[in-house]
């Protein structure tokens, strides 16, 4: 299926190969800026100019299943967690919100303090990345809203951000320069802070030089050597 929003507050969903007539859902919003399907199927979310995140059934019921609000400022982006249990949205106010899809309870608020043009979950659902208007991709804990990392892209204005599905990297895209000399740029940023404690310990062990190891007591060298073997075996 493919979903699209836009002017008029109309959400359209097409089923590929089933003809050209879309399923239409009409909201009271003037514009819909972001749409996302739940990975578990059956639901689609719309982020609208009236500040509302609406959850819709793909088929059947035409009214929203739920209308969720963080504040009254326009929403620009929306994303579901990989397990479909949570949905996040961000917008012009500089905040992002995370809700429980089933209970509609607000789980966390992310204090980005910049217009959020895109938002996305990590592969395990524990982190969220936002594309900021200041060129910074910010990473937060999705359960608590705690800031994890600020990744400076060198791009003036970010419009997209997504986690690598395999490694702890973030791909971003946006614009550099001012009109009429604007150009699009993309970058891939490494998020060291996104890694688990185990991965960080492995990286630290790998960075010890033979000279540094030679200054350590024998028992410490043995422990580090054992750690390195376990790390390499796990990879």
Tens digit of each residue's pLDDT (9 = 90 or more) over 145-160:
999 999 999 999 999 9
**Alpha carbon distance 33, 94 (integer Å):** 16
Q: Which residue has the higher pLDDT, 217 or 188?
A: 188
Of 61, 68, 14, 62, give the one whose Cα is nearest residue 46. 68
Q: Tokens for 169?
A: 């990297």
Q: Tokens for 221?
A: 């060298």
Query: Hey, what domains does the chain have and what are their CATH numbers?
Result: 2-193 (2.130.10.10), 196-235 (no CATH)
pLDDT surpassing 80 at residue 56: yes
**Alpha carbon distance 107, 90 (integer Å):** 14
Q: Tokens for 130?
A: 């936002």
**Alpha carbon distance 166, 231 (integer Å):** 17
Question: Alpha carbon of 31 to those of 63, 69, 87, 125, 212: distances in Å?
Answer: 17, 16, 20, 28, 60
Indicate the average pLDDT of the chain: 88
CA 110 centroid distance within chain: 12
Give this prediction's pTM.
Answer: 0.82
Residue 70's contacts (CB-CB under 8 Å, 6 or more residues apart) are 51, 53, 89, 91, 93, 95, 96, 97, 106, 109
**Rg of the chain over all Cα atoms, to the nearest angstrom:** 21
**Alpha carbon distance 155, 115 (integer Å):** 15
Cis link prior to 201 (omega < 30° from 0)?
A: no
Contact 22, 44 (CB under 8 A): no
pLDDT at position 222 is: 73
pLDDT band at 205 (very low <50, low <70, confident <90, very high): low
pLDDT surpassing 70 at residue 232: no
Could you tell me the maximum CA-CA distance found in the chain, to the nearest angstrom? 73
Q: Where are the alpha helices (DSSP H) in the chain?
A: 197-206, 210-214, 218-234
pLDDT band at 213 (very low <50, low <70, confident <90, very high): low
**Alpha carbon distance 214, 16 (integer Å):** 63
């Amino acid at each position: 299926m493919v979903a699209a929003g836009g002017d008029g507050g109309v959400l359209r969903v097409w089923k590929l190969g089933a003809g050209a007539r879309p399923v239409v859902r009409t909201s009271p919003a003037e514009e819909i800026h972001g749409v996302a399907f739940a990975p578990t199927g059956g639901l689609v979310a719309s982020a609208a100019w009236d500040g509302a995140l609406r959850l819709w059934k793909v088929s059947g019921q035409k009214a929203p299943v739920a209308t969720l609000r963080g504040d009254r400022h326009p929403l620009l982006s929306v994303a579901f967690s990989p397990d479909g249990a949570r949905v996040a949205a961000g917008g012009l106010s500089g905040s992002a919100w995370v809700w429980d899809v089933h209970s509609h309870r607000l789980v966390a608020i992310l204090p980005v303090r910049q217009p959020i043009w895109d938002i996305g979950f990590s592969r395990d659902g524990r982190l969220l990345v936002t594309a900021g208007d200041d060129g910074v991709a910010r990473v937060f804990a999705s359960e608590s809203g705690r800031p994890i990392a600020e990744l400076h892209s060198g791009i003036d204005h970010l419009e997209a951000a997504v986690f690598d599905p395999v490694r702890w990297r973030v791909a971003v895209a946006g614009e550099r320069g001012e009109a009429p000399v604007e150009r699009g740029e993309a970058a891939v940023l490494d998020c060291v802070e996104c890694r688990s404690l185990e991965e960080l310990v492995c990286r630290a062990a790998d960075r010890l030089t033979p000279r540094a190891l030679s200054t350590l007591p024998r028992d410490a060298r043995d422990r580090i050597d054992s750690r390195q073997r376990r790390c390499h075996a796990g990879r």
